[in-house]
Amino acid sequence: EFLRIPSCLYGFMNHTTTTEMTASGRTAFCFHGELDASEDDIICHCGCKMHVNNHPGITLRHLPFGGYLSQVQFNRNQYVCPKCGKTRMQFISFKAPAHRITEELYQYTRDLLATGNYTNKEVAELTGLGKNTVKDIDKQRLQELYTIDGTKLIKPERKAKFLGIDEFKLHNGYKYATHIIDMETGHVLWIANGKKKQVVYDFIEHVGLEWMDSVEAIACDMNSDFQEAFEDKCPHIQPVFDYFHIVKNFNDKVVSEVRKDEQRRLLAEGDDEAARSLKKTRYILMSSRKTLKRKDQDAADERVISKGSPIFGTEDYIRKGGHEERYDELLSQNKLLFTLDLIKESLTLAYSRNDEARMSEDIISIMDTCKSTKNEHLMWFRRLLDNHFEGIIAHATYDISAGKIEGINNKIKTLRRQAYGYRDDEYFFLKLFDISRKTYVRNPLSHKICD
């Protein structure tokens, strides 16, 4: 009543097959049989022939068949040497080391994990293994790929021209870790706990100063510790502050705060109508004119943002228009908001330059505009530009951005969310090394066999 298929369990002879129900409610095929004895097993290291002392049973999990699990059950011999008294268990060629599973199931589990398409929980469900077993197999796989004997990270073979560095939150957010990536490939090269200078020093010691000689620039945020550490050990490397971080600081620390200050001022002056007009305008004021035009075009094309459902009584949500008109109205009513718009446009122009001299002129002009307003938030932004002036204008020479860094940060959040958090930092960091090297295929080809 059962199919006979090659099992690749060399030395195992199946004589009975039964079906059992697992504790989780799944059906499992149990292959009962015998294991052939090898001549090598019965010879002791002292040269004496060993005797059979016992026949303990063993059960190994095997490859699943569709939705069914399987396992092999047999007795193996325990040998004892009559001369020296040493004991030895019969060798099982198809048993995976350190696990009660077959080598075939072990390799199948590794292959599923290596694709990067399945979480550990999904792999455990497919293979019938426990989640801790799956984690141990995955961790061993990652250690073989990225470490030397599981104790030290492998030095990157490819020399990087541009690096990127950023920190991310660990666990409940009170602890941080820092990752350094190759900006051309997006591969994570180094991860360590903390966000201080020592992280950079440890990375440079790991790769060596000769390897660092090929690095020309590094993209980073406004963290002065990273900048000072690289300047201390490798003064030839130019820190670059990209457009994303500058605009993010401008929107969060200037535009948002100015809008709230203007609301409070208008309310204090008794102009309630003007104060109400600034409500729910934070996103519009932070957006570029290009973004607002695109949204208005989507509205004109009646683009559906969210599809409705007759089952749940919802209707299609179509993009609303009037974003650019509302933006121009706000600028015409408030001189300070109009100044913020000029600065945003000037920043966009400055970061389009490929000449440091012209970009420096644009940045200096922005600093002068901020100073002329005498607004505390714009004065803060002026100091930010002044303190990071060289790294900002370096973008004209080294056109690199934090796009790949932010992409890795999104992968970190997704990975942690899928697993509901990681308690093992070493395993978590190795997983980040692995996912940074996975290529994303938007529309994968079908598995249909071609004619």
pLDDT grade for 195, boundaries at 50, 70 and 90: confident
For residue 141, pLDDT beyond 70:
yes
The β-bridge relationship of strands 147-148 and 87-89 is unpaired
pLDDT single digits (tens) 245-264: 899 999 999 999 999 999 99
Q: How many CA atoms lie within 13 Å of 423's alpha carbon, on the beta-carbon side? A: 2
Neighbouring C-beta atoms of residue 48, cutoff 10 Å: 14
- pLDDT more than 70, % of the chain: 98
What average pLDDT does the segment 130-149 reach? 94
CA angle 346, 352, 353 (to 5 degrees): 100
Question: What's 98's DSSP letter?
Answer: T
The pLDDT of residue 138: 96
Asked if 113 and 134 count as a contact pair (C-beta separation under 8 A), the reply is yes
Helix count and strand count (H, E) for the chain: 18, 16
Among the listed residues 133, 93, 92, the one whose alpha carbon sits nearest the alpha carbon of residue 109: 133
Asked if 176 and 155 count as a contact pair (C-beta separation under 8 A), the reply is no
Asked if 195 and 221 count as a contact pair (C-beta separation under 8 A), the reply is no
pLDDT grade for 55, boundaries at 50, 70 and 90: confident
The pLDDT of residue 105: 94
For the chain, the average pLDDT equals 90
Q: Would you state the torsion angle of the CA atoms of residues 407, 408, 411, 413, taken in this order, to the nearest 10 degrees?
A: -100
The pLDDT of residue 388: 92
Lowest mean pLDDT among 3-7, 213-217, 262-266, 322-326: 3-7
128 to 7, 245, 373, 450: CA distances (angstroms): 18, 46, 67, 32
For residue 7, pLDDT beyond 80:
no
The pLDDT of residue 6: 53
The pLDDT of residue 165: 93
The pLDDT of residue 366: 96
pTM comes to 0.85
- pLDDT more than 90, % of the chain: 61
What average pLDDT does the segment 179-188 reach? 94
The pLDDT of residue 181: 95
Lowest mean pLDDT among 103-112, 414-423, 427-436: 414-423
Class of domain 155-242+402-436: alpha beta
Domain range annotation of the chain: 1-95, 101-154, 155-242+402-436, 243-398
pLDDT grade for 362, boundaries at 50, 70 and 90: very high
The pLDDT of residue 15: 87
The pLDDT of residue 451: 61
What average pLDDT does the segment 101-122 reach? 93
Residues with Cβ within 8 Å of 23's Cβ and at least 6 positions away in sequence, in order, are none
Separation of alpha carbons 156 and 333, rounded Å: 56
The pLDDT of residue 358: 95
Neighbouring C-beta atoms of residue 281, cutoff 10 Å: 16
What average pLDDT does the segment 36-62 reach? 85
Q: How many CA atoms lie within 13 Å of 59's alpha carbon, on the beta-carbon side? A: 7
For residue 5, pLDDT beyond 70:
no
Segments in 56-177 forming alpha helices (H): 103-115, 120-127, 131-146
What average pLDDT does the segment 206-230 reach? 90
Phi, psi for 60 (deg, rounded to 5): -120, 135
Q: Which residue has the higher pLDDT, 283 or 37?
A: 283
* Single-letter code of the amino acid located at 38: S
pLDDT grade for 433, boundaries at 50, 70 and 90: very high
Q: Would you state the torsion angle of the CA atoms of residues 330, 335, 336, 342, taken in this order, to the nearest 10 degrees?
A: 80
Residues with Cβ within 8 Å of 168's Cβ and at least 6 positions away in sequence, in order, are 176, 177, 178, 179, 409, 412
Q: Would you state the torsion angle of the CA atoms of residues 259, 264, 269, 272, taken in this order, to the nearest 10 degrees?
A: 80
What average pLDDT does the segment 406-426 reach? 89
